[in-house]
Structure 1
């Protein structure tokens, strides 16, 4: 019914269609997941100094956490800690990470607890340790 060259041509067209369909699906899927992560990022309010504030539990990743993260101080005072204080020094290499880890106190460390303005210290927040 079909010659050998026609069957080969039909097979090639079939394979090209399958590969093309997979590429279109992957492209569409990648765009939709990128858009979802952007639309699911929290829209934190900003204080009078332009800093975002709120709960880190609303963040979709560490990169989307607010600049001021809600926290409760050692004495029960509700306030905010600076993300950069909470994160601490970030290593630039594995060797630096080990050095930072080895220099940390097993009892943890204290950082300032701020009012929502991000300037007024209202208490202390303890990070790490027991």
Structure 2
């Protein structure tokens, strides 16, 4: 009888974990649902803008416009860095990564530009 009760609890726990993961949550660490516009969406509609008036999305190499918040990945963290944090006289994420003479760490944000979810290493 005790074995059956444990099995039912294990099944219930597994089901709850699956539901939590599908909803964008994690039991071991924080997870966030990130709004990421596709490159084709950006080309057609322009970059989306958050409530602070900042544009966000991927840095499209052949585009003349860059967003205020640029999509990056650092380890398992996917989010946005402020272009102003990257800009030391450079125009793109790739340029900033390759030409920064000193290394620095800058915050990674959600698309709101205020919620910090990680750190991004830049430099040589």
TM superposition score normalised by structure 1: 0.49
Q: Deviations over 1:102-128 (max 9, x none)?
A: x942xx211111111001111100112
Where do 4+ consecutive residues of structure 1 move more than 2 Å? none
Cα RMSD after superposing both structures: 2.6
Alpha-carbon distance in 2 for matches of 1:59, 1:118: 24
Which structure has the larger Rg? 1
Q: Deviations over 1:29-82 (max 9, x none)?
A: xxxxxxxxxxx6871001121110001126613xx1000000112x32010000
Higher helix share: 1
1:1-130 alignment, distance < 5 Å? 43-57=46-60, 60-61=63-64, 64-73=65-74, 75-88=75-88, 90=89, 104-105=101-102, 108-129=103-124
TM superposition score normalised by structure 2: 0.51
| Number of equivalenced pairs | 74
* Cα gap change, 1:42 to 1:84, in 2 (>3 Å): farther
Gaps of 5+ in 1: 1-39, 92-100
Q: Do 1:42 and 1:58's aligned partners in 2 also have CA atoms closer than 8 Å?
A: no
Alpha-carbon distance in 1 for matches of 2:123, 2:44: 27
Gaps of 5+ in 2: 1-42, 91-98
